Amino acid sequence: MWDFFATVRHRHSIRHYQSDMPVEREKLHAILEMACAAPSAGDLQSYHIFVVTDEGRRTRLSEAAFGQAFLAEAPACLVFCSDPQRAQEKYGARGRELYALQDATIAAAYAQLAAVAAGLGSTWVGHFDEDAVRAVVAAPGHLVPVALISLGYPAEIPEPTPRRPLGEVVTYL
């Protein structure tokens, strides 16, 4: 088990997977539990997660993401949808327009880190046709797909990508 800092450092976008190595059910469950452990506005968890392992649907997800082939190659994909209606009931427009999206994205970020801790790789995919993704997972109309997280055993260990220097990103006051 890596400590938290090592886990964060070992997370890289993985775009090649061992497609013959499915993600064990227990690992999927553990990752989903970590996603749901993320903070959320009013503890409402204004999101829904679809777990796609079926090959036909993964192929359709890759098409919905404009041909990003690794989505079909990865044995699993988590489709994170925000639930603006749920957040709106308590928080009005701010819940609908901001909190639901934040809830869903924080949960997805936790899932990516949990994947690393479980020895898996992932990539966050945001470039997709929303309606096409909704159709693949048969999501009810009030859910908004916000992130596809491909999941599987890596077939590559990519070089870490550079980050902007802290001095450029951070202001101490």
Ligand X SMILES: Cc1cc2nc3c(=O)[nH]c(=O)nc-3n(C[C@H](O)[C@H](O)[C@H](O)COP(=O)(O)O)c2cc1C
Residues that bind ligand X (CB under 6 A): 12-13, 15, 68, 123-127, 161
Between 42 and 155, whose beta carbon lies closer to ligand X? 155
Least distance CB 110 / ligand X (angstroms) = 13
Least distance CB 15 / ligand X (angstroms) = 6
Between 24 and 130, whose beta carbon lies closer to ligand X? 130
Could you tell me the sign of the dihedral formed by the alpha carbons of 8, 116, 19, 56, in that order?
Answer: negative
Least distance CB 158 / ligand X (angstroms) = 6
Task: Tell me which residue has its CB nearest to ligand X.
Answer: 126
Between 52 and 125, whose beta carbon lies closer to ligand X? 125
